Amino acid sequence: MVRLGNAGGRRHLRSIFHDLAWRYGVRMPAVIRPADETDADAITSVFLASRAAAMPYLPRLYDDEQTGAFITHVVLPQCRV
């Protein structure tokens, strides 16, 4: 797959096309697929944001990097995501 660099890291060309299509009102069909290691950053971001919004009272025991490592090395290899 072709990848392009950007300020936030590397993005799939497909993701860039999807962003442009969404911006200009072109709706693309949803694609559901198993997660892989390239999805770890996005999964970590969603996990951290949803946890903070849903359970703000829980203390954070691990920083973002440790949480990302857990998702990359434990969740993705051992779970269907």
Which residue did the predictor score with more confidence, 3 or 63? 63
Per-residue model confidence (pLDDT) at position 5: 45
pLDDT band at 17 (very low <50, low <70, confident <90, very high): confident
The DSSP 8-state label assigned to residue 79 in this structure reads S
Is pTM, for the whole model, over 0.75? Answer: no
Which two three-digit tokens encode residue 20? 């442009």
Mean pLDDT of 25-53: 89
> Domain residues of the chain, as ranges?
1-32, 33-81
Look at residue 35 and tell me whether its pLDDT is greater than 70: yes
